[in-house]
Chain A
């Protein structure tokens, strides 16, 4: 049965490829959409697992009247003393200071780089790492030394430590450059200077603008709920608490609508592919009347003719489905490799894809197959 059905397909390879192509494209589209989004989610999960989801940030919010507030200076210490908080640190925006590569650049072209007064224990809490040079320590924090975020270094054109940059009208020595910090992207575009030097030379007001706190994993929500009141007991409503890992996950979620759209397009392609298979089978029956007549004269029953065409249509769509699944996996792997993600195609997607093609084959097959089996043998044989 399979052999006879397969032979019918082998006799017309071009048409088989073309009509299987429709199904293949549909399945490939659906599988790669699912595969790529699963892979990217898997990547996010792994990154979050590495970065930790227990980092919380606290910043000043606005008053009821829309005025900008600031966190009390004691807030860092208060937060650090909370029981489930394992480490905490803070940065403060040096409002009036800008960073320039040299002293010739007009004041207006600040390059979007913020100057942050930074405590020396910033990296441990935030989970950042130094790419080149060193981070600030107790000694350099009091001197005109600066550590540049990954993007800030790029924008300033600083390739290596020991170069000088112009910070708030003074020459600062670059002592280090950071790697990107996924959980604290604000550091990427910042120039970090010591807390004391910021106060002494850059007119820093000393108020923290972001407090970072790592909590025990089991108490994250509890800490998150209590942070506002701890940071500013008098006006807890003027404090903004957030969890950076949530923001990363949320960015991911916005892609879901696009995925749904692509998935829908894949389904349409699959449907069109199914119609293509049905069409191929109908044409095939018309073209092969003589063959049908011959088979009847050789002793094929109506049922055997019907099965032959059913098997052909199932094979045709299975072929498309297999090719599409393979293509979808290839696309996923290719894209994931390109994005440096783990490549992951869920089993439900592949089995679902194969099942869908078989269903299409089973839907497209019966009509032409029944027509073929009902053909009177003499009429079939009479066709030239």
Chain B
């Protein structure tokens, strides 16, 4: 079976700043991987390349068997819509829009009809334990709840790959634990999860850790 994520000697430079150099990484289906490392080490850069939001300066990125470099904007967008789910540190929820509609936006670009989107969004909200807050708007929720809404949005389309960039970065440890538990249970139902974390304790509990430093992978296992 093809790996979900394959990086081959990938490098990324920003106007002379080398953010990532010569990174090779393979993630198989169903894995739960923590990406750790100091600030500025290139973790987000790596995750963005995996999420096809960015392109490498050199090397090859293959996601779900597709070589990213060869895909058109349309095909890349389809890949992001159907195969990849994103969770961000800042949640990025639409203010003034109910949680169920925020979650339904996760299916906006998959060609699903509005009724179907809402229904699946309600189900996804149940999965993250927020079924009773469907009509509430983001500002009425706690940080942990907002992040769970964001996770529901990321997984409502049942993506094979879930990418989370410091999902607990803006949360207290208790809410952070809740979010981590949620990611774990999603992983148990088959989703491949890559999560960036600063928290050593959290990282220690993950089955596989990729350590990054100065743009290189310095530890894996």
Residues of A at the B interface (CB closer than 8 Å) are: 3-4, 7, 11, 290-291, 293-304, 376-378, 381, 384
Contacts and interface: CB of A to CB of B under 8 A. Distances in A.
Given A290-B92, A299-B77, A299-B80, A304 B53 contact: no
Contact of A377 (B54, B109, B110): B54
Given A376-B54, A381-B53, A299 B109 contact: yes
B109 A297 contact: no
Which 4 pairs between the two chains have the least Cβ-Cβ distance?
A: A299-B81, A299-B109, A377-B53, A301-B77
Contacts of A376: 53-54
Contact of B108 (A300, A377, A381): A300
A298 B54 contact: no
B48 interface: yes
Contacts of B114: 3
B191 interface: no
B97 A298 contact: no
Given A4-B108, A7-B97, A304-B109, A296 B53 contact: yes
A297 B80 contact: yes
Contacts of A7: 94, 97
B218 interface: no
Interface stretch (B82-90, B121-129, B202-210): B82-90
Interface string B81-118: 11010101010101111000000011011100010000
B201 interface: no
A301 B73 contact: yes
B53 A298 contact: no
B18 interface: no
A11 B79 CA distance: 29
Contacts of B54: 376-378
Contact of B78 (A293, A295, A299): A299
Contacts of A294: 88, 92
B132 interface: no
Contacts of B80: 296-299
Nearest to A3: B114
Nearest to B88: A381
10 contacts: A293-B53, A298-B81, A298-B105, A299-B80, A299-B82, A300-B77, A303-B74, A304-B77, A378-B53, A381-B53
Interface string B40-83: 00000000100101100000000000000000011001111110
A300 B73 contact: no
Given A7-B97, A378-B53, A301 B74 contact: yes
Contacts of A293: 53, 92
Contacts of B53: 293, 296-297, 376-378, 381
Contacts of A381: 53, 88, 92
Contact of B94 (A291, A300, A302): A291
A299 B106 CA distance: 9
Nearest to A11: B96
Contacts of A290: 90, 92
A300 B51 contact: no
Contacts of B88: 294, 381
A73 to B, nearest CB: 89
B17 to A, nearest CB: 14
B91 to A, nearest CB: 10
Contact of A299 (B94, B96, B110): B110
A290 B77 CA distance: 17
A331 B107 CA distance: 46
A293 B80 CA distance: 12
Given A4-B108, A296-B80, A299-B79, 20 more contacts: A3-B114, A11-B95, A11-B96, A290-B92, A291-B92, A293-B53, A293-B92, A294-B88, A299-B110, A300-B108, A301-B73, A302-B73, A304-B77, A304-B109, A376-B53, A377-B53, A378-B53, A378-B54, A381-B88, A384-B90
A131 B53 CA distance: 86
B108 A298 contact: yes
B109 A298 contact: yes
A168 B88 CA distance: 101
A303 B108 CA distance: 14
